């Protein structure tokens, strides 16, 4: 007769150990091992007659498993074109960011568009509470069925009875199974519940959306294995004092992981932003010092982002470098290049650079815009408001080419910009007849062309070790 056994499981990585240790042997985290009793499983339950047989790839039918379109185009974009039947998608995000609201909107709109039942399982809110939220955001909820349950066996029984077109579970940390002697939200509970939901989704060819809590470090709570079990992982991000939300894919077995969706949180729920580029641009950019615009690519979508910078005489011996929404390492490189190659005396200046709108810009194509913004603030010379800057800044001061410049220029032309600084070796054509391309070879030429009131005389070269 099999017996239950006691193991110690790491709350960070999920690794099991036969005895307690102060430091996890897997991830190295201290004081993360917790005692857990694993119930015995009968050997007969593990042996199941398999009806599957190997099948040639050329004989596998691909019809009947098309993606399920969603009314919210931004969610469909991030998913790669819609929900894949039989897929398990994990939504993560900080508390209060709007995960439950977005999932409720997706569930209600899917039920209305497909004319099929959709099951919304909530382990955190009662049905009247969900009704109040649905009424506030203007959802009628026809075809949307609510279930307040945390026992996974009961939930799967109701799923089999209803045969829904979509299942939403909010959240995975509140669901438990009696086969695991551990509180809901524990490592083994989360892992086992997710594995069973995956099995059910694949067998029934029904997409399942689950919400996941995040830890103080921003990672989804539970073992890292949870993200490996699911098919797609989406994060809903946003600044604490901003109404805009960014839905980003960090894992997608059926599409690109570089796509983002832009939403705005309003009284009636999350609403799609039709023109995302306007979110990241200020309305009045005339004679603005320390600001430059760059077209960046988020997946297949070009977005115009405003890069702002501020330089100020340092009050301490060591100048500070601060990056918000930009890669800190890239900021250090750009500042060093401006000091060494463009002869800007930044060795005694604090440099603060930021990408507006809450978007994190990591691609090197934004280097030239960041350099223009820093030089504009240092020289107190505004950047041409009709200008966008595209290019990577090399260590020797050269402006290097970046991919898909044509798509970036087309977005800039659509929003009314008429000039663009581009790398000299980029073989591109202007998107329209009244759009002017300004090829630049190095950072000094870029500053001369991009700053409207810059001092054209070469400043005195700084000597000594205080350049950076």
Binding residues: 93-100
- Report helix, strand or coil for 268: coil
Q: Are strands 180-181 and 33-38 parallel, antiparallel or unpaired?
A: antiparallel
Cβ neighbors of 280 (< 8 A, separation 6 or more) are 303, 304, 305, 306, 355, 356, 357, 359
Query: Phi-psi bin for 435: left (phi > 0), alpha (psi -120 to 50), beta?
Result: beta
Residue ranges for the binding site for ATP?
A: 93-100
Answer for the pair 216, 199: CB distance below 8 angstroms, yes or no.
no
- Report helix, strand or coil for 269: strand
- Report helix, strand or coil for 259: coil
Cα dist from 368 to 358, 427, 429, 446, whole Å: 20, 18, 20, 8
DSSP conformation class of 84: P
Tokens of 131: 């009704």
Enclosing H/E stretch for 226: helix 225-229
Query: Phi-psi bin for 7: left (phi > 0), alpha (psi -120 to 50), beta?
Result: beta
How far apart are alpha carbons 206 and 37 in whole angstroms? 32
How far apart are alpha carbons 62 and 210 in whole angstroms? 26
Query: Angle 127-136/99-114 helices, nearest 10 degrees?
Result: 80
Burial of residue 102 (CB within 10 Å: 0-12, 13-18, 19+) is: buried
């Amino acid at each position: 007769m099999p017996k239950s056994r006691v193991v110690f499981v790491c709350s960070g990585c999920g690794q099991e150990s036969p005895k307690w240790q102060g430091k996890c042997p897997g991830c190295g985290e201290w004081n993360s091992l917790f005692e857990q009793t694993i119930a015995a499983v009968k050997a007969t339950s593990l042996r199941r007659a398999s009806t599957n047989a190997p099948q040639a790839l050329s004989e596998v039918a691909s019809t009947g498993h098309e993606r399920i379109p969603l009314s919210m185009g931004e969610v469909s974009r991030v998913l790669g074109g819609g929900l894949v039947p039989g897929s398990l998608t994990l939504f993560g995000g900080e508390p209060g960011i709007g995960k439950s609201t977005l999932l409720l909107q997706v569930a209600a709109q899917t039920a209305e568009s497909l004319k099929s039942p959709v099951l919304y399982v909530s382990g955190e809110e009662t049905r009247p509470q969900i009704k109040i939220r649905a009424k506030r955001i203007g959802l009628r909820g026809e075809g949307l069925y609510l279930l307040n349950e945390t026992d996974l066996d009961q939930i799967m029984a109701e799923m089999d009875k209803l045969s829904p077109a979509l299942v939403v579970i909010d959240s995975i940390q509140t669901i438990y199974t009696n086969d695991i002697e551990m509180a809901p939200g524990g490592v083994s509970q989360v892992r086992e519940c997710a594995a069973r939901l995956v099995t059910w989704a694949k067998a029934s060819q029904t997409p399942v959306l689950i919400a996941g809590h995040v830890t103080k470090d921003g990672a989804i709570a539970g073992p890292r294995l949870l993200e490996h079990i699911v098919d797609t992982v989406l994060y809903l991000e946003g600044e604490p004092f901003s109404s805009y939300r960014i839905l980003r894919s960090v894992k997608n077995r059926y599409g690109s992981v570089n796509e983002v969706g832009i939403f705005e949180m309003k009284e009636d729920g999350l609403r799609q932003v039709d023109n995302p580029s306007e979110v990241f641009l200020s309305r009045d950019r005339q004679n603005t010092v320390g600001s430059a615009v760059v077209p960046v690519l988020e997946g297949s979508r070009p977005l115009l982002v405003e890069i702002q910078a501020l330089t100020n005489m340092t009050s301490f011996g060591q100048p500070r470098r601060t990056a918000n929404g930009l890669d800190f390492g890239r900021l250090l490189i750009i500042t060093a290049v401006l000091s060494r190659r463009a002869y800007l005396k930044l060795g005694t200046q604090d440099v603060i650079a930021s990408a507006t709108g809450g978007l994190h810009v990591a691609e090197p194509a934004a280097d030239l815009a960041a350099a223009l913004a820093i030089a504009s603030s240092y020289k107190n010379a505004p950047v041409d408001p009709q200008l966008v800057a595209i290019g990577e800044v090399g260590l020797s001061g050269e402006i290097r080419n970046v991919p898909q410049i044509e798509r970036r220029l087309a977005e800039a032309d659509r929003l009314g910009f008429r000039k663009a600084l581009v790398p000299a070796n980029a073989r591109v054509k202007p998107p329209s007849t009244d759009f002017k391309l300004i090829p630049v070879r190095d950072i000094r030429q870029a500053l001369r062309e991009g700053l409207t009131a810059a001092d054209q005389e070469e400043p005195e070269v700084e000597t000594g070790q205080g350049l950076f």
